[in-house]
Structure 1
C-alpha cells in the first residue's frame, strides 16, 4: 500500500481517533479510565477483542487486565487471566515495542491459548508510557475483515500516547485521594485513642481502621511474647473464623528476626512463603507486616493480609501504610501516657480521700467508742440492765462502723483497673460482683492482719467458699442484707490458729426460717 493510500484509509477514522483521544481524559477514576481506553482502542481498530494489561515494575509481570469483547461467561470459562510472564503478552512486557502479527500461531513466541479461550489469530500490541515509565500494554486481536494494518498501528500509537497522559493524571488523582484517606484514617485513630480507649480497644481500633484503608482481608496486631516470639493480640477479620487471636509466631521463625528488629516485611503470597509458619497463613495471599514503633520503642507489628489471588500491594500502598503505622504507634504511646497520667490522678485523689477518712472519720469514731466504753464501765453498777445493753450495742455498732470504714479506705487504695492480688482485694472484688446481682453491696469486715497471715492455698480456698456462700444467699428469697467477716485471729476447735469466714444473710430458708449463717474455717499453716 502506497503512502497516499495509507493516508486515505486512515482519514475516515480520524474523527473516531479524535473522539477516543478526548474521551480517555474525561474521567479521573483510574479503573474507569483504563476500561474506557481498551474499549476505545477496540472500536478504533475494529478488533473483536482487546485487553489492557497493567505492569508491576517490581515483578515484571501483569497485575491487572482490563478486557473488551469477552462476555462474563467467557471470562469465567477462561478462569485465571494470564500474568504476562510468557507468550506474546510477555514479549511486550519484557520488550516494550509495538508488535503486529498476522498469524499468532505461526509466531515462535506464542505459547497457545488456555482451554475455553476464544480463537485469536491476528495480534496488535503497543506499550503505554506514563512519562518515561511503561505503565502497561494494549493488546488487540481478531481484526474484522483481515489482519491489522500499519494504519491501525499508527492510530493505536496515538491513542496510547494520549492514554499515557490520561493515566498519569488519573493515577496522580487516585494517589492524592488514597493519601487523603490514609491521613484521615490516621487522624481518626489518633483522636479515638486519645479519648480514653482501653489498651485492648486501642489495638483493635488500629487493626480495624488499617484493614479498611488497605482493602485487606484482615487487620491484625502482633506483640512480642516473653518466650521471644510474637502473638496476635488483636484482629479485625469479619469474613474469617475467630481463631486468629492467640496465634503465635514461635522463636526461630525466619520472619521473626525482621519483625522484632522493627523492619517491615512484604509477602507476595503468605500461603506459600517459606518464612511464614503460622496455621492461618493458608488463608491469605499478598501481605505486608509493618512495625509499630515510636522513639525506638517497638510496640508490636501491624499485619494486613489480603485474600489469596487478590491484587498485590503497590509501592504507594506500602508507603502510605507504613506512614499510618508510624502515626498509629505514636498515638498508642501518647494514649498510654495519657492513661497513666489519668490513673495517677485517680490514685492521688483516692489516697487523699482515704487519708481524710482515716484522719477525720475513723479517729472521731474511735474516740466516741472509747467515751462510750468508759461511760458503760462507770454505769455498770448504777445503771439499769437496759441502759447497759444499749451502751454495749452502741459500742458494737461503732466498732463495726470503724471496720467498714477501714475496708472502704483499703478499697480506695486498690488500682481501679487491675485485678487485686491481696486477699482483702479479692474478697472485696467478690462482694462487689455479688452486689451487682443482689441489688446491694454486702458489708465486709476484716479482723487481724489478713493479708500477712493468710497465704496460699488457704486464701484461694477462702475466696472459693465466699463465692459459694454469696451465690447461695442470692438464691434465697427476701435477702436485703449480707454481712461478711474474715477473721485471721480465730482459734480452731483443736486449738490451732486459723482463719474463719462468716457469711450472714437475712434471706428466707426452705424451712421458713429467716436468716442463715455460713461458716468456713481453716488453719493458717
Structure 2
C-alpha cells in the first residue's frame, strides 16, 4: 500500500536511501505529489473511513426505509374496510417516520375535520383531552393549503393554535396531504420524532410516498364500503318494512329500528325519542345497547320523559335534518338521558320529514371513537326515512282495519237494536197484555217475572250496543266508556264476563265530580267480588234516574265473610256519606252479596 506525504513517495517499511528503495527522481516525485492532491482530500484516514461508514449506513437505512415502505403499501392495500384501512395508514406512517403520535384527519364537505383518527394516544389520555380537534391552527392550515409542512417546533409557527387542556405535549411536526385523484381526502399528521430528533427530508419523502399509496387504498376501500353499506341498508330496511306491514306493534318496530341503526353505524348505544304534548316534552320509547354490548338492557332509559326545550332532539325534530356532533356535551343539551349515554361522537337522525317528523334516532359512541362519517350519515338518514314511511303505512293500514271493525260493530249494533231489541220489547208487551187476561194469580206472576227478565235482557243488550259503538279513544273520555272498560277489565280476574246495565243519560246527567267518585267505587266493589265472592255470576247496574245516581253490584257467591277487613267497605260508606248518599252491603235475594251505593245527582241542593 502506498502513502504520500509532502516531500517523498516511498514503499511502506523502506528506509531512506536504504535497500529496496527505488529513487524515482525529482520529476516523478513532483508528479505523484500533484496527483495525490487531486485523488484524496487532505484529511486523516480515520475521518475518511468514518465518512464512508456513515454514507454506507445512510444507504442501508434508505434501503430499509424503502423495504418498510413497500411492506406498508402492501399492508394498507390489502384492507377493504375503510375504517380499518384509515387506521392502518396512520400506524404505518408513525412506524416509517419513527414518531410517537400520528393522526389522520378526514376533511368533510364543509371544509372542516369530519373524522380524526389518532394513534399513540391511550383511551385514558383521550378522556383527559377537554376538546376534540375541529380543524383549527396547523390542522386548519393544511386543510386550506394542502402542502407538506415540516416543523422542528409546533409552537413557533405563526398558525399554531395551541393545545386544549389535557392534550399531550408535542413539538416536532410533519403534515402530508392525502389525495384521491384530484380530491384532497385528508391529511396525515405526525408529531414527536423519537429521541428528540427532528423530521428530516428522508421522512418527508417516505411519508409522501405512503400518502400516495394511501389515496389509492382509500379509493378502493370507499368503493367496497359503499357496496357493503348499500347491502346493509337494503337488508335492514327490508326487515323493518316486513315487520311493520306484518302487524308488528309500533313500539316493537321502533326497537327494531334502534337495533339496526346501532349496528349500521357501529355505535355503542342507540335510543329513539318521540315528541309528546305538542312537542313540549320528549319521551324515550326504544333503547338498544345501554347496558352493554348485547343490546338487551335499557339502563332505566326507556320511558324516560324530559322537556324538549334547548335539546338537540328538538332541533332535529323541527328541521328534519340529521345532526352529527363530535361529542355529547351535557351542558349544551340539557337532556337527563345523556347521563346514561356515552359522551363521545353522536348522530341524531329524524324519522320522517317536516312537518310530520315522528321521532329522532340518537346514536352515540364512547369518547375517543371515530366520529360519524358523511357516507354513514347519508345511509342512516335514508334508512330512517324508509322506516318512517313504513311506520306511516302501518298506521294507515291499522286505521283502515279499525274503520272496518267500527263499521262491522255499528252494523251489528244496528241489527241488535232494530231487530233483537224490538222483538224482545214486542214480546214483553204481548206477555204483559196476556197476563192481564189470566185469572190465575200464580200464572200471571210467573209471566210478569218473565217480563222483568226480558226488560233486564233488553238493558244488557243496549249496554252491549253502546260498547260496540264506542271506540277505545271515546271510552277514555266518557263515563259510560270508563265504566265499560272497568267492567271488561274484571273479566280476566273473574274468569267470566260480568253483566252490565247502564240506565239513563250517564254522560250528560252525572257531574264530573260524581263521575270521579263513581269509578273508584265500582273498582272497589268489583275487587271485593274477585277476592272474596267465589262467584259464577256478577251483575253491575249503574243508573241515573229520579235525581239519584245508583251503583249496584250483585253476585251469586258465598256472601260476606265473617272475618273481614272493613277498610274497603268503610271507604265506600264514607264516600257516600260525604256526598249525602247511602251505602249498604249484605246478602242478596237469591244468595250471594249485593252492594248498593246511591248519592243524589244534584249536589248543590
Question: TM-score range, shorter-chain basis?
Answer: 0.7 to 0.9
1:476 aligned to 2:532? yes
Which residue is 2:463 aligned to? 407
Name the CA distance, whole Å, in 2 between partners of 1:217 and 1:9: 47
CA contact (8 A) 2:86 2:104 kept: no
Which residue is 1:460 aligned to? 516
Which residue is 1:517 aligned to? 594
Match of 2:83 among 21, 26, 31: 31
Structure with greater Cα Rg: 2
Alignment TM-score, normalising by the size of structure 2: 0.71
Which residue is 1:371 aligned to? 430
Shift in CA distance, 518/8, structure 1 to aligned 2, threshold 3 Å? closer
1:325 aligned to 2:384? yes
Which residue is 2:452 aligned to? 396
Select between 429-438 and 454-463 the one with higher mean Cα deviation: 454-463
CA contact (8 A) 2:257 2:387 kept: yes
Query: After superposition, what is the alpha-carbon deviation per residue over 1:414-450, rounded to whole angstroms, capped at 9, x for unaligned?
Result: 2146544333222221111112111111111233333
Task: Please give the secondary structure, in 2, of the residue aligned with 1:457.
Answer: helix
Shift in CA distance, 270/52, structure 1 to aligned 2, threshold 3 Å? closer
- TM alignment of 1:159-308, pairs within 5 A: 159-203=210-254, 205-207=256-258, 209-214=260-265, 215=267, 217-223=269-275, 225-226=277-278, 229=280, 231-232=282-283, 234-236=285-287, 238-239=290-291, 240-242=299-301, 245-250=304-309, 259-260=317-318, 262-271=320-329, 276-280=333-337, 284=343, 286-294=345-353, 297-306=355-364
Task: Please give the secondary structure, in 1, of the residue aligned with 2:541.
Answer: strand
Match of 1:427 among 471, 483, 490: 483
Select between 360-369 and 14-23 the one with higher mean Cα deviation: 14-23
CA contact (8 A) 1:48 1:142 kept: yes
Deviation at 1:8, TM superposition (A): 7.4
Which residue is 1:20 aligned to? 72
Which residue is 1:64 aligned to? 116
CA contact (8 A) 1:286 1:311 kept: yes
Which residue is 2:505 aligned to? 449
- TM alignment of 1:350-361, pairs within 5 A: 350-361=409-420
CA contact (8 A) 2:460 2:499 kept: yes
Which residue is 1:129 aligned to? 179
1:485 aligned to 2:541? yes
Name the CA distance, whole Å, in 1 between partners of 2:211 and 2:451: 99
Deviation at 1:461, TM superposition (A): 1.9
CA contact (8 A) 2:413 2:469 kept: yes
Match of 2:494 among 429, 435, 438: 438
Shift in CA distance, 77/444, structure 1 to aligned 2, threshold 3 Å? closer
Name the CA distance, whole Å, in 1 between partners of 2:543 and 2:154: 96
Query: Any stretches of 5+ residues in structure 1 without a counterpart?
Result: 491-496
Shift in CA distance, 211/158, structure 1 to aligned 2, threshold 3 Å? closer
Aligned residues: 504
Which residue is 2:205 aligned to? 154
Deviation at 1:347, TM superposition (A): 0.3
Deviation at 1:341, TM superposition (A): 0.7
1:503 aligned to 2:553? yes
Name the CA distance, whole Å, in 2 between partners of 1:271 and 1:411: 51
Deviation at 1:24, TM superposition (A): 1.8
Alignment TM-score, normalising by the size of structure 1: 0.80
Shift in CA distance, 233/225, structure 1 to aligned 2, threshold 3 Å? farther
Match of 1:312 among 371, 379, 389: 371
Shift in CA distance, 225/397, structure 1 to aligned 2, threshold 3 Å? closer
Deviation at 1:290, TM superposition (A): 4.1
CA contact (8 A) 1:264 1:290 kept: yes
Name the CA distance, whole Å, in 2 between partners of 1:363 and 1:259: 55
Query: Any stretches of 5+ residues in structure 2 without a counterpart?
Result: 1-50, 292-298, 564-586
Deviation at 1:115, TM superposition (A): 8.6
CA contact (8 A) 2:553 2:594 kept: yes
Query: After superposition, what is the alpha-carbon deviation per residue over 1:134-193, rounded to whole angstroms, capped at 9, x for unaligned?
Result: 423053754689876544443333222112111221133223323433343333333323
Query: After superposition, what is the alpha-carbon deviation per residue over 1:276-308, rounded to whole angstroms, capped at 9, x for unaligned?
Result: 4444556655444444445x6423441525257
Shift in CA distance, 341/219, structure 1 to aligned 2, threshold 3 Å? same
Deviation at 1:503, TM superposition (A): 1.0
Task: Please give the secondary structure, in 2, of the residue aligned with 1:316.
Answer: helix
Shift in CA distance, 59/241, structure 1 to aligned 2, threshold 3 Å? farther
